[in-house]
Amino acid sequence: MSLVEKKTTIALRCPHCGRLESKEIHVFEFSGGQTLEVECSCGQQKAILARDSMQEYLVHYLCAICEGEHLLSLKNGEFWGELAVPINCPEASVRIGTIGSQEAVHNDDLYRDSLESLAEKLGGDDYFSNPAIMLDILDILQDMAMRGRVSCMCGSKDIQIDLYPDRLKLVCAECSGNLTIPAQYEEDLEDINCREGLFLARNIDGLRT
Ligand SMILES: [Zn+2]
Ligand SMILES: [Zn+2]
Ligand SMILES: [Zn+2]
């Protein structure tokens, strides 16, 4: 790879709106200045990338988990490399981003499972009526599911999620029983926040709806 083609991609969860956008960076963007700001489309500055005198790269980022600031130091070969390097919150040991080649970053689980990549597949950034609310509700549901608090009256805990612009639908993989959850307004978020868990009504006929 020649110098002029050098590029990398950074995907980082935004501490303000929660989006996990990815951004491609070219080596020429470092020419002139030594630092580069990475902003979310909501306007929040997420990170500052800097090249130091040792030709190492520093990723100084605002953390979406603990709201603190962290610093990641990468070798030249890691920063511009093919591999996906994780960006973590060291306080909580939670991953909030990835840096590496675009292919590696986009194939990474964190990005693939993100709402941004789902929206991309479903027809673009405007797919969801209110992406921030949808993301928050998805987070809460995943959390509930992980603690075994989402189940179907038939006894199954194998629940699938279908996403729509303004709602999501939980569907039981066993009996197709389902539950629709609105995910558009602040009230929808408050509503789900008050719940201890969710039960899907069993589908007596066992037919897909
Ligand atoms: Zn944002
Ligand atoms: Zn943190
Ligand atoms: Zn069921």
Give yes or no for a contact between 142 and 161, defined as CB atoms under 8 angstroms apart. Answer: no
Give yes or no for a contact between 50 and 34, defined as CB atoms under 8 angstroms apart. Answer: yes
> Higher-confidence residue: 110 or 202?
202
Query: Ligand 2 centre and the CA of 59: distance in Å?
Result: 13
Residue 44: which H helix or E strand, with range? none
Query: Ligand 1 centre and the CA of 41: distance in Å?
Result: 6
Residue 32 is predicted with a pLDDT of 67
Give yes or no for a contact between 184 and 190, defined as CB atoms under 8 angstroms apart. Answer: no
pLDDT digits (tens, 9 = 90+) for 70-105: 999 999 899 999 999 999 999 888 889 999 999 999
Query: Ligand 1 centre and the CA of 175: distance in Å?
Result: 39
Q: How many CB atoms lie within 10 A of CB 116?
A: 19
Query: Ligand 3 centre and the CA of 199: distance in Å?
Result: 9
Give yes or no for a contact between 134 and 45, defined as CB atoms under 8 angstroms apart. Answer: no
pLDDT digits (tens, 9 = 90+) for 26-52: 888 887 667 899 999 889 999 999 988
Ligand nearest to the CA of 173: 3
Query: Ligand 3 centre and the CA of 175: distance in Å?
Result: 4
Query: Ligand 3 centre and the CA of 16: distance in Å?
Result: 37
Ligand nearest to the CA of 88: 2
Query: Ligand 2 centre and the CA of 66: distance in Å?
Result: 4
Ligand nearest to the CA of 156: 3
Reply yes or no on whether the pLDDT at 206 is more than 80. no
- CA count, 13 A, side-chain hemisphere, 136: 19
Query: Ligand 3 centre and the CA of 114: distance in Å?
Result: 26
pLDDT digits (tens, 9 = 90+) for 9-26: 999 998 888 888 899 998
Query: Ligand 3 centre and the CA of 204: distance in Å?
Result: 9
C-alpha 3/C-alpha 157 separation (Å) is: 52
pTM above 0.75, yes or no: no
Residue 54 is predicted with a pLDDT of 77
Residue 209 is predicted with a pLDDT of 45
**Residue 179 binned pLDDT confidence (cut-offs 50, 70, 90):** very high
Residue 5 is predicted with a pLDDT of 73
Amino acid at 178: N
- Across residues 106-120, what is the average pLDDT? 76
